[in-house]
A and B are shown apart, each in its own frame.
Chain A
Amino acid sequence: MPAVRVERLTKDFDGLKAVNEVSFEIEGGRIFGLLGPNGAGKSTTLAMLSTVLEPTAGAAWVNDFDIRTQPDSVRRSIGIVFQDQSLDEELTAWENMDMHGRLYHVPRDPRRRKIGEMLELVGLSERAGDLVKTYSGGMRRRLEIARGLLHEPRVLFLDEPTLGLDPQTRNHLWTYIADLNRNRGITIIITTHYMEEADRLCHEVAIIDHGKIVASDTPAALKRQIGGDVVVLETTDNARVLPLLQALPAVKAVEPRDGALSIKLDQADRHVAELVTSCSRDGVGVTSLSVHKPTLEDVFLHFTGRTIREEEASGKERMRMAVRMWRR
């Protein structure tokens, strides 16, 4: 039995299809990533799966409970960490945990034991008695994850778990998440627009764009699917060398992108010299060159026709970040 089964799930906001007939299945014990830019429908999908939002059409089962008819059973069997913080800053970490345990009807003794255990797990035992408002962003996130696990859910939802965190904290958090999954067998669903995050953590990803899933597989398979390596070449005259490069037998495709040329080919390392020679033969200088194996970023580009980075610094997120800064 899959931990999560989604069939043609749809959410309509006044005629705008935020989620459009999305279907997928998640095996128990896996980390599944919903990958896409802001506004692609990731959070809406999560909101429906956690029974916060009612779907317009379609069906879904979480731990075999129907999200439409058994919302309480679904809620009891899942843990959620929201994109925006949902802690009470004027309570201590321990009190936040205790409050959660009570809301989920965890009896007193196991509750106290689990709180200690979970805080230990995310490395916050020492600070358990401190008010949350004295916590850093990374600590808050860890606390939220610990809280989401308190009632022993079988599925954990993480909505953009590392948004707005610095790279080091992000790395730490990834380790925690991977360990959780490995050591406790918890099924984890992550939404993210950080390709690196999906690549590092997820056993399987679904790329979602404009409310539709455009591709879904393991990261490795997705990368294989778009085929070959990519050489990014910056020259003094991109337009002039583009047709020359395209004519080379080893080259499969050339696309201008962000002021550089993105060249697709197999076994890039062998053909680098060839690329450079053909540029300089025409008197065009190479200013920068990098070889990379396909990443999920390339996969995203392949399936949606644009890079996710273009979306990354969108207005909405900048505003969110500004609001966060201001709240501190």
Chain B
Amino acid sequence: MGVIYTIWLRNVKRYLRSKSRILGSLGMPLFFLVILGFGLNKVVTGPHMGRGYVAFIVPGIVSMTVLFTSMFAGIQIIWDKQFGFLKETLVAPVSRLEIMLGQTLGGATTALLQGFIILILSLFMGVRPGSAGGLALAIGFMILIGVAFTAMGIAIASRMDDMHGFQLIMNFVIFPIFGLSGALFPIGSLPAWLRSVTLLDPLTYGVEGIRYGLTGAAQLAPLASVAGLGAFAVLMVTLGARLFRRVQI
């Protein structure tokens, strides 16, 4: 436990210290939230949007923030590889699994904190969670998203030597996961074939879970969301731990 806590502590300390990174990674979600939220609030209505489009996309933007932050937190180990700190941890008399888990929990924690900021900001846009229980459920989903995608970032970073492939990951992994997830549109209104594609996207279950928690209405049953996202998180942690064990320094 001590080792996991140590690695977690390092991640959280670095996060709290880098004001520019906190602000920087809030830029895009805020942009989406404000522009789409206000811009389309009057235009977009539908059977699934009882409380308006802003309320509809807040869970989506929260998911997006957690997704991006956690993915970056995982991929950050490439930086540690290049700038050497990874060596310090890998030659210590500790298991790689502990290091990987510490990194995963650390990334998930920072992602959760970023998600909270969006949640708080959305209060000012008139969107508030329906109940305390619902909020707790939403937070549970945020944690799961954070864990799953930090682990995925670690898995990817374990196979990369430098940041050259980063753009590729951004365009072909992170954006599609976000775009297909139903963060910005109700998946129920999609044609059947596209709908099944969104169901292959693990983030869909996260978005729908958070949406259920915050607004009380979602396209997927909350239990299905927990099962889908939970299974994906377990898969990613296992894969991440496996690939991280093979990292050479």
Report which A residues bind B (CB closer than 8 A): 50-52, 71-73, 75-76, 80, 82, 84-91, 95, 99-100, 102-105, 147, 327
Contact = CB atoms under 8 A, between A and B. Distances in A.
Interface stretch (B88-96, B133-141, B175-183): B88-96
Contact of B84 (A52, A85, A104): A85
B85 A52 contact: no
Given A52-B249, A103-B6, A86 B93 contact: no
A41 B94 CA distance: 27
A327 B83 CA distance: 9
B78 to A, nearest CB: 15
Interface residues of B, number: 23
Contacts of B249: 52
Contacts of A50: 91
B10 A91 contact: yes
19 contacts: A52-B91, A73-B93, A75-B93, A76-B93, A85-B83, A86-B84, A86-B85, A86-B87, A87-B85, A88-B88, A90-B14, A90-B17, A91-B10, A91-B14, A99-B10, A100-B88, A103-B3, A104-B92, A105-B2
B91 A72 contact: no
Which A-B residue pairs are the 6 nearest by beta carbons?
A86-B84, A103-B92, A75-B93, A102-B6, A86-B88, A86-B87
A147 B91 CA distance: 13
A105 B92 CA distance: 10
Interface of B: 2-3, 5-6, 9-10, 13-14, 17-18, 83-94, 249
Contacts, number: 63
B6 A82 contact: no
A31 to B, nearest CB: 21
B117 to A, nearest CB: 20
Contacts of A71: 93
A99 B84 contact: no
Nearest to B89: A103
Interface centre among A71, A75, A86, A90 (most CB of B within 10 A): A86
A88 B10 contact: yes
A75 B92 CA distance: 6
B93 A104 contact: yes
B4 to A, nearest CB: 11
Nearest to B95: A72
B91 A75 contact: yes
Given A84-B84, A90-B14, 12 more contacts: A50-B91, A75-B91, A84-B87, A86-B85, A91-B10, A95-B13, A102-B2, A102-B5, A103-B88, A103-B89, A103-B92, A105-B93
A202 B5 CA distance: 40
Contacts of B85: 86-88
Contacts of B14: 88, 90-91
B87 A82 contact: yes
Contacts of B13: 91, 95
A103 B84 contact: no
Contacts of A89: 83
A76 B93 CA distance: 6
A103 B3 CA distance: 6
A180 B171 CA distance: 52
Nearest to B94: A103
A90 to B, nearest CB: 5
A156 to B, nearest CB: 13
Contacts of B3: 102-103
A322 B112 CA distance: 38
Contacts of B84: 82, 84-87
A85 B14 CA distance: 18
A326 B13 CA distance: 26
A13 to B, nearest CB: 11
A95 B9 CA distance: 10
A84 B3 CA distance: 24
Nearest to A327: B83
Interface centre among A76, A102, A105 (most CB of B within 10 A): A102
Interface centre among A99, A103, A327 (most CB of B within 10 A): A103
